[in-house]
């Protein structure tokens, strides 16, 4: 797990929101969603190919 990208939400973090790229045809269009306890960020949206 990379400390810069992935994070598991803890109860003391709430409320917490994530901004992500949700439209694969328009990567400049952001979306926002609320995260829940125990959820890992970076699960939705566009992810560039790993080198």
Please determine, for residue 48, whether its predicted confidence score (pLDDT) is greater than 90: no
| CB distance 17 to 32 below 8 Å | yes
DSSP reduced 3-state for 11 = helix
pTM confidence score:
0.67
Phi first, then psi, for residue 13 (nearest 5°) are: -80, -20
pLDDT score of 7: 87
pLDDT score of 9: 95
| CB distance 30 to 19 below 8 Å | yes
| CB distance 40 to 8 below 8 Å | yes
pLDDT score of 36: 94
Cα angle at 18 between 15 and 12, to 5 degrees?
Answer: 30
pLDDT score of 4: 52
pLDDT score of 1: 44
pLDDT tens-digit map of 4-35: 578 899 999 999 999 888 888 888 889 899 99
């Amino acid at each position: 797990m990379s400390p810069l990208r992935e994070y598991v939400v803890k109860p003391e973090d709430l409320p917490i929101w994530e901004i992500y790229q949700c439209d694969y045809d328009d990567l400049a269009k952001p979306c926002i969603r609320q995260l829940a306890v125990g959820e890992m960020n970076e699960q939705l949206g566009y992810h560039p190919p790993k080198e």
